[in-house]
Each structure stands twice: as structure tokens, then as C-alpha cells.
Structure 1
Amino acid sequence: MDSILQHSLSSVRDLIGLQLVSRLFTFVLNQGLVRLASPRAYGTVAVQFELFTSTILFLSREGIRNALLRVWPQKRMHPQSKKDKIQAAQCANLATLPVLLGIPITFLAAATYMCTVSEDARQQPHFNLALFIYAAAAVVELCSEPMHNRAMGEGCTSTRVRAEGLGISSKTVVTYLALLYDTRLGEQKSTLLAFALGQLTYGVVVFVMYTVKVPDSRLWPTRLHLDPSEQTSRRQWLAEFFDPTTFYLSVTMTLQSIVKHFLTEGDKLLVSYWSPLKDQGGYAIAVNYGSLIARIVFQPIEEICRVYFSRVLSHSTGPKRSSSDGKSMTDMTLKQASDAIEALLSIQIVFSILVVTFGSLYLPMVVQVLLPSQYLATSASQVLSAWVWYIPFLAINGGLEAFHSSTATPEDLRKQSWYAGPFMISSSVSWTCRWMLVYSSMYIISAILFYRLGFGDASLVYANVVNLSTRIVYTMLFTLHFFRKHMNCSAPFGLADVLPDWRFLVAVAVSYVVISVNESKQHVMELRALVSVSVLLHFSLGVVMGLVCVATWWTTAGRRMVIQVKPKVD
């Protein structure tokens, strides 16, 4: 199990490296993209077309991805048994379903979007052609799912790092060059086409890279030849292609993902309904900047946590095997997972405090550099300010969601999603069965309430804070219940175990006061020239105080935490 943890930590480094390099590279080019595209066109692409694409991808592959992570057979040195070969073939068949699902979902999503899109968006040059290319790009990207699932199931994270890294870079370069060429023509009528070609480039590059790295995958399920003893009369037809248990788990997760997708992308849905295209562009650019931290750090951590917990805890409730020192292997893995969750939450809380403290102090100055002049008149500044408070909830929710999706049984998922069976809705549901309904209701009600209170497009960010708070409560209760049930203890850790030391909080409070006083004395916010001695000294002060806070955390809690979760090497 320590080897799994070591491999997971290595995968985190790879994925964070991918996100860091690719995002920093694309960040530089995006500075040029947003200056070449009008807020109106950028709003159509970054809000409406992105929502269209993510809907197709999310509904086609999310549930199947999560289910396959639990059961995909690992590579072994010794020859595979017949059972292992059948399991591998069933997983490979199930991995092809996103391609088959994606085609009808694409047609349905395109028809729905065309019926609801505003005239302002529809009247832009080459709108229909751009939408068609986005649809084709989504299908091409889904064609790489069989290879992606195999690579992640077998722990080949480097394959994904190379494919997606090259795909993101190629997408940004193609989009930038197309926009630059269109601008030099002096017409700027092909902005939507430029972004569409970039999206198609991403799908093609990822597919080609996966095909090269995982060449023996297939895009179509094949019939398996099972012994009569391995078949059941009720599920015989299904077992000839898929493992019935894994198939129904993926169906349950897919049905759950419908509600989860609305909660994840609900802000784009509502902003496209409430705001004009210009403000949609401002909202989109603010979200892209605000989500940089989430993409670079939180997303890789969540994905690797999902892989790690799926591997370590997928059989934690099964028969207990004794290790060499006489301890139960299941108890050891549960303790290791508990320590990992405790350390993850503790680090995320510390990171969140630093982001809120220093982000709120320096964001007003940074916005003047980040945002192009045509976006300063939109809601971008207001949305970015709200994102500072949203990041902590994203951080904490990510790890807990990964643990829940990795360990929840089909019954747990049905309870959370209001499902009594793979295709049925229960008529009598306990209070825990209504969590998904609570998520949706709270999000919509909060968004409307914040809008009426005058928060504008930032209302969607604050509504997401309320939504994530509810999800954090649910997943935290689930996590504590899971460990109490399987470890036979009252709780694996308490609130005091994940909260930072008081000395760290004092260092943060002192930093906030010192920086605020310096800003007031130097009148930094009133300076028009951002590259000046006063401004540079003010930023330097923030860097020094930030390092003091991090050093305080490391000496009071960080070093001990690293020792606690560090893999034991025999």
C-alpha cells in the first residue's frame, strides 16, 4: 500500500507539473487572445460553447471514468489468470461506452442549444459552422476515452500528462494564430471559427497521442465468450460484454452526474440566461483567471486522490489479511487513508487562509495588469474579487468529493442522488436521499437572492460558495461515517486536528495588519504607475510576510504532518 501512496504522490507531481507548465504557457498566450477577441465573442465561446462541450463530455464519460478506476486490473509480472483476462476485457468494453453515448448526446445537446440560443449570439459571423466544429471536437475527444481509461486504470499518468499537455498547448497556439491572422485582415469576422479550430486541434492531438501511446485499445465493444458457469440467466446478455456490477455502478454514477453537472456548470447556464454577451465575456475571463489555482493545483490533487482511494479502499471492507507484523492489512490501509485525508484537509485550510488574506489585499492592483482595457467596463473585476472567497471552498470540496466518489457504494450513491435502483426513483426517501435536491435548490435560490441584492454576476460565485458548503457538509459526514464504520472508532480525526496552529493564525493576522498599514501610508492604490518603487516594495513586503507565514506553519505543524503521511519504505 505504501507503493500505491508513493506512486500517487509521484502522479500528483506529474499532473501539477503538466498543469503548471501548460497553464503558464497558455496564460501568456491567453493574454493575447483576450486582447484580440471582443467581450461579446469571448462570452459566446468561453461561456456558451464551453458549456455545450462540457455537457457532452461530462454526461458521456464521467460516471464510467469513476467506475472503471475502482476495478481496472493492475499490470502484474506473472501471467494473468483467465479471470483477470475476462475482467480486463470487460473493462475495455465498458471504456468504449463514452464514444457510443457521446454521439446521441451531441445531437441532443446541439438541438437543445440551437432552440435556446439568443439572437445576439446567433447573428455573429460563422456561428453555425463554429458550433458544428465544437460538436465534432467533442466527439473526437471522446474517441480517446478507451485509451485514457486504460492509461489511468493501469497508473500510466505520464501518458495523460503528455497527451493533454501537448493538446492544451496546440489548442492555444492554433487559436492565437487564427485570431492574429483574422485581425491582420482587418475584419475580425472569424473569431468564433478561430476558437472552434483550437478546440478541434485539442481533440485531434489528444486522440493521436493516446493512439500512439496505447495502440492496442479499441473503440467498439466486443462479445466475450464465457463459460456457462460464469453466466446468469438474467444478466447473460450483459455479462457477454460488461461486468454487470461495474456496469450498474457506472449507470448510477452517470445519472448522478446529471445533477452534479448542473451544479458544476450552473453558473455558465445562469449567466448566459441573465447577462448580455459583453458581460458574459467579462465573467468568463474572470473565471478563467480565478480558476488558474484550481486547475494547476486542486484538479490534479482531486484526480490523484480519486485514483489513490479507489485503489487502497476498494476492498477495505473485504476479508482482512495479516501483514508480516501481525496487523490487519485492512486496518493499516484505513489508517493510512485517514491520515491522508487529515493531512490534505489541514494543508487545504492553511492554503485557503493564505489565499483569502493575501488575495484580498493585492487583487485590486493585479486586476489592473491582468484585464485588458475593454474588459474593465464589464463585471470581470467584481467576479475576480468574489473568486478569492470561492477558492477555499473549491480546495476543501475537491479532496472530500474524490474520497466520496472512490468509496461510496451504489447504495450510497442512490441515497445521495435519490435513486433506489439503476433506473428507478424511490417513493419513500429518508432525509439523506434529498441531498442532491438540496444542492440544486440552494444554488438557484442563492443565485437569485444575491442578484436581487445587487451583487451582479458575482452572485453566481457566491451561490457556488453556498452550494459547495452544502456538499462539503455531506461529504464530510460521509467520510467520518465511513471511518467510524470500518475502523470501529468514534472518529478518525477531529476539528482540532485539521485547524492550523494558533501561531500560524497570529502570523497571518500580523501580516494583514502590516500590509494594510503600508498600503495606507504609501497610497499604493492611488498610484497610476504600477511599475514604481512604492508598488514594487509593497509587493516585496507581501512576499516576505507570506514566507514568514509559511515558515511558521512548517515549524508548528507542516514537518510533523509530512512525517506522519510519508510512505514507509521497508
Structure 2
Amino acid sequence: MSDDAVAASAKGATFMVFVQVGSRAVTFALNQILLRFLSPQLLGVAVQLELYIISALYFSRESLRIATQRRSDGGVQAAINMSFLAIAAGLPIGALLAQIYLGTNYPDVPYLTTALRINELTVMVELLSEPGFVAVQQNMLYKTRGAAEATAVIMKTLTTAGLVLWGRHMDLDLGVLPFAAGELAYSASLTVVYLTQTAPVARLKEFTLLPKKIKPSTEYAFSLFSKPLLYLGASLYLQTGIKWLLTEGDKLLVSAFATLEDQGMYALSANYGGLIARMLFRPIEDSSRNLFAKLCAAPASEKANGKGEKRKSTNNIHQAANILRDLLRVYSIASLIAFAVGPTAAPLLLQLVAGSRWTDSGAGEVLATYCYCIPLLAINGVSEAFVAATASTKELQYQSVWMGAFSAGFAISAYVFLRVLEMGAKGLVLANCVNMALRIVFNLSFAKRFFGRNGVEFKLMDLLPNIYAVGMTAVVPSLLAQSQGLLGRYGLLGNLVRVGMIGGLFTAFL
């Protein structure tokens, strides 16, 4: 059973990576066309509206999504029933956040209020996909998820780009309407694919995508909602709020302290810098969370005896430890490449794809700094997925306390970098690095304790690259700087070749 879960998870993660790469390649090409017509100010406002959607969805469904990945006696149906609580929460949360945004000193951009109302609708449309999403996760239907996300991303980009180009052709200033329409196209496509693709599976496996009574029991509220999952979701809610603050805190700080132009510059750098994270790391994180939950879950009979925590299958725990160790080891080696070559290569690539208009604005330097954050995002993502999949309710509450402390650390570091050292958007990236590093320390400490009490050795030193690779990482930036005159006279192309040659040799050495 565990071998099947590992194989399915690995296959699903691989498929999701390929789907993400393919769909992002299409959207990447279209976005480069868009950048020629957008100003940093307009992109900055679009980021604020995107933050609204992310926040409304996050507070409506995140804790429930994590809770429904745990095993329940009600099976898939119990998890689907729980997803309707997210739909019910979406309307008041979306309306409240919209009112808060309109109550602030929001920017004077054409059709901003209309775009915000469209985004309110977008939140509800996407939440309607939750029963389908839960069915996909519970049955490990990665092809369905890949198809849904790829279709949604492509439809979003086509809609946004189409409206921007049409407005340009008709000499109309549509403001942020194209971005709102693109988000609605994304959510509508996602919902349609999820629900249509999971409906046949529901009939075959005898569950329904609508709320259905499980059985009269003291373990279920109204015979619909599993009380253990409800308690877990409630205990997670505070933690998800803190996690949201840590995840989206950079956007909040940029909105509070930076001009719209600076916000657009930071958004561009974060989008390019996070491209690898969205294409590669996020599918691995999602599939590994589901896998860790299955491998480290106690059998139902053991739970009934109250001895599940002590009698988990040793083989499954060993598998989980090996998978986590291998993932973190690969990420640590990839980190060396990002640290050594990324800061030099990033501004050159930005100039190639976005033009000198954006590099002259300082976005190239911000993107170079972001290269230090990308590996930390990857390591934090998979280690945090392990914590979410294996921690008990008490341990999750303990994590929430530490997340609060990390929020304070993030805020202090952001203040130092932004206000004291006046580093602008680069300082915000460095504050994010501090945030990620603190979270990684907690996650790895938890993993070591978890495996230790289950009789499995998990050495943190095994995750680190060898000393020779670390030494080369320190030397490569100097080589790149000293070799600038070698091919630099050939302009951008010569510099790309130079960085590619040195980076390729370094990668081969690793």
C-alpha cells in the first residue's frame, strides 16, 4: 500500500511538473508581450488586487484543505462535506476584505472598483471547485489536477493579454479590468474542469460532490462534518493566519511603504524569481504533503485502540524519512547553483525577456537578490509540508506560537532593511530570506524529533553538500566578475554565453 502511494505520488509530481512547465511556457511568452504595454504603476495595482483574491481564498479554505488531508472514518465523503464550509465562508470573508480595501487610500486607477467587485465574484467561483479539488486530492488524480491548473493558467493569460491588446488597439484605457477578467477566467476554468472531471469518478467510487450524511454518530456534527477534522481545522485557522502574514507580508509591506512604481518593480522580480518555485517546487510540495500524510498515518484499528502514535509502521516511517532526506539533499545542491550563478545571470535574463526599460528601473538588482530566496522557498515548502502532514493538533498549536515569533522577526528585519538601511525592494527580499530561514530551522527540528520518537535516525548533517562544493560556490562569483571583459564587449549575448559557460562547468562539478 505504501509503495503504491509513493509510486503514485512520484508519478503525479512528475506529471504536475511537466504540466506546469508547459502551461507556464505559453503564459511566459504572452506575458513578455504584455510587459511592453504595461507600466510599473499599473502592475503594482494589479498586485494589490491579486493579494485580495489570495487572501480571501486563503482565509476561506486553507485550514480546511490541510485538515481534510488527514484520514477520516468517513473517507472521501467526509472530506468533501468539509469543503462546503469553505464555500460558506467565502462570501462574508470576501466582502469584508473588499470593504477594508475600499476603506483605505486606494490608488486612482480606471475601473478599480469594478475590478474589485469582479474579484469578489472570482473568489466565490473558485471556491465552488473545492469539492472537486478535495476529490482529486483524496484519490490522487494528478492528471485531473494538472489539466485543471494548465487550462486555468492559459485561459487567464489569454484573457488578460487579449483585453490589453484590444484596449491598446481601440485606444481605450481599461485600467486593471483586464487583470480582473483574467482572474475570473482562471477561476471559472478551474471550477469547470474539476467538477466535470471528478463527477464520473464520484459515480464509480460511490461518493457525491454534494453534502451527504455519513451516519448518525457522536463523531459527526449534523451527521455531515467530522468533529475531529473540524477541531483540527479550527486549531489550524490561527496558524494559517500567521502563515498568511509571513507569506504575503512582503506585499503588505510594499503596499504600505513603497510607491506604485516600486511595487510593480518588486512584483516583476518576485514573479520571475518565483517562476521556478511555481513550476517545480509547488507540485512537489503538494504531492509530498499528501504522501507524508499517508505514510505517517496510523491505521484506523490502531487509532481505535489509542496507540496509533506508537505503533506506526516502521517501514512507512523509514520511507518518509528517506524521501524527505533525498528531497532536501537535492534542494541543498540546487541552492549552491542559485547562490553562485543566479545573481549574475538574473539581470541579464531580465534584460533579454523584459527589455532595458525594466532593468533600468532597478528590477534587475532586485531579481539578483531574489536568487538567494528561491532555494529557501523550496526547502521551506517541502519541510513545512511534512510538518502539516504529520504534526498533532497540539504540535500545530505549538507551531502557531513559533510562527508568531517568526512574524516578529520578519517585521523587525524588514524595518531594518527598509527603513534603517534604506535598501528598498532588495531589503524586502532579504527580510523574506530571514523569514524563510527561521521557518526552516523549526521545520527541520520538528522532523528530527518526529523521526527520533519513531525510532528512525534523521541526521541534519546528511542534508548538506560536501565542503568542496561549498568552496567552489564561494569562488564562482569572483570568476564571473573577473571574466566580465572576456566576452563583455559582445554585449548581452556575450555576457550570457560567459555566464552560461562558467555556470555549466560549476554545475558539472557538482
**TM-score, length-normalised on structure 1?**
0.82
Q: Matched residues in 2 for 1:56 and 1:537: separation?
A: 44
Q: Matched residues in 2 for 1:124 and 1:89: separation?
A: 45
Distance 1:368 1:12, change over 3 A: same
Distance 1:181 1:356, change over 3 A: same
Larger Rg computed on CA atoms = 1
Kept in 2, the 8 Å contact 1:43–1:278? The answer is yes
Aligned partner of 1:342 among 296, 318, 325: 325
Distance 1:316 1:35, change over 3 A: farther
Kept in 2, the 8 Å contact 1:99–1:219? The answer is no
Kept in 2, the 8 Å contact 1:283–1:379? The answer is no
Q: CA deviation at 1:523?
A: 6.0
Alignment-derived partner of residue 55 in structure 1: 55
1:482-517, Cα deviation, whole Å (9 max, x unpaired): 111111x6xx23243111234434554565554443
Q: 215-224 or 247-256, which moves further after superposition?
A: 215-224
Q: Establish whether residue 407 from structure 1 lines up as the match of residue 390 from structure 2.
A: yes
Kept in 2, the 8 Å contact 1:316–1:334? The answer is no
Alignment-derived partner of residue 502 in structure 2: 542
Kept in 2, the 8 Å contact 1:379–1:457? The answer is no
Q: Matched residues in 1 for 2:66 and 2:352: separation?
A: 40
Aligned partner of 2:316 among 333, 347, 368: 333
Distance 1:394 1:225, change over 3 A: closer
What is the CA RMSD across the aligned residues, in angstroms? 2.2
**Letter of the 1:293 counterpart:** I
Kept in 2, the 8 Å contact 1:346–1:498? The answer is yes
Q: Matched residues in 2 for 1:88 and 1:437: separation?
A: 33
Kept in 2, the 8 Å contact 1:309–1:407? The answer is yes
Kept in 1, the 8 Å contact 2:296–2:390? The answer is yes
Q: Establish whether residue 494 from structure 1 lines up as the match of residue 459 from structure 2.
A: yes
Q: Establish whether residue 31 from structure 1 lines up as the match of residue 32 from structure 2.
A: yes
SS in 2 for 1:240: coil
**Letter of the 1:522 counterpart:** L
Distance 1:104 1:218, change over 3 A: farther
Q: Establish whether residue 529 from structure 1 lines up as the match of residue 479 from structure 2.
A: no
| Structure 2 counterparts to residues 309-328 of structure 1, below 5 A | 309-315=292-298, 319=302
Kept in 2, the 8 Å contact 1:96–1:219? The answer is no
Aligned partner of 2:148 among 142, 148, 163: 163
Q: CA deviation at 1:458?
A: 1.7
**Letter of the 1:461 counterpart:** V
Q: Matched residues in 1 for 2:399 and 2:507: separation?
A: 42
**Letter of the 2:58 counterpart:** F
**Letter of the 2:255 counterpart:** S
Q: Matched residues in 1 for 2:140 and 2:438: separation?
A: 32
**Letter of the 2:436 counterpart:** L
Q: CA deviation at 1:267?
A: 0.5
Q: Matched residues in 2 for 1:450 and 1:506: separation?
A: 28
Alignment-derived partner of residue 172 in structure 1: 157
**Letter of the 1:190 counterpart:** L
**Equivalent pairs, count:** 495
**TM-score, length-normalised on structure 2?**
0.92
Q: CA deviation at 1:378?
A: 3.3
Distance 1:64 1:380, change over 3 A: same
Q: Matched residues in 2 for 1:505 and 1:436: separation?
A: 30
**Letter of the 1:198 counterpart:** G
Q: Matched residues in 1 for 2:405 and 2:301: separation?
A: 33
Distance 1:377 1:506, change over 3 A: closer
Q: CA deviation at 1:416?
A: 2.0
Q: Matched residues in 2 for 1:514 and 1:274: separation?
A: 37
Q: Establish whether residue 101 from structure 1 lines up as the match of residue 101 from structure 2.
A: no
Alignment-derived partner of residue 469 in structure 1: 437
Alignment-derived partner of residue 444 in structure 1: 411
Kept in 2, the 8 Å contact 1:130–1:193? The answer is yes
Alignment-derived partner of residue 139 in structure 1: 124
Aligned partner of 1:190 among 171, 174, 178: 174
1:448-493, Cα deviation, whole Å (9 max, x unpaired): 1101202112222111111111111111111111111111x6xx23
Q: CA deviation at 1:218?
A: 6.2
Distance 1:511 1:465, change over 3 A: closer
Alignment-derived partner of residue 263 in structure 1: 246
Alignment-derived partner of residue 460 in structure 1: 428
Kept in 2, the 8 Å contact 1:39–1:374? The answer is no
| Structure 2 counterparts to residues 387-426 of structure 1, below 5 A | 387-417=370-400
SS in 2 for 1:95: helix
Distance 1:404 1:36, change over 3 A: same
Distance 1:281 1:510, change over 3 A: closer
Distance 1:225 1:267, change over 3 A: same
1:293-340, Cα deviation, whole Å (9 max, x unpaired): 1111111111111011011102179849xxxxxxx8711111111111
Q: Establish whether residue 210 from structure 1 lines up as the match of residue 178 from structure 2.
A: no
Q: Establish whether residue 115 from structure 1 lines up as the match of residue 103 from structure 2.
A: yes
Q: Matched residues in 2 for 1:282 and 1:144: separation?
A: 33
**Letter of the 1:221 counterpart:** P
Distance 1:3 1:87, change over 3 A: closer
1:25-68, Cα deviation, whole Å (9 max, x unpaired): 111111112222221111100x2011100001111111111111
Q: Matched residues in 2 for 1:2 and 1:477: separation?
A: 27
Distance 1:495 1:313, change over 3 A: closer
Alignment-derived partner of residue 269 in structure 2: 286
Q: Matched residues in 2 for 1:458 and 1:544: separation?
A: 27
Give the unaligned 5+ runs of structure 1: 73-83, 321-327, 418-433, 554-570
Q: Matched residues in 1 for 2:360 and 2:264: separation?
A: 11
1:338-360, Cα deviation, whole Å (9 max, x unpaired): 11111111111100011111112
1:395-447, Cα deviation, whole Å (9 max, x unpaired): 21111100000001111111222xxxxxxxxxxxxxxxx31221111111111
Kept in 2, the 8 Å contact 1:29–1:172? The answer is yes
Distance 1:240 1:22, change over 3 A: same
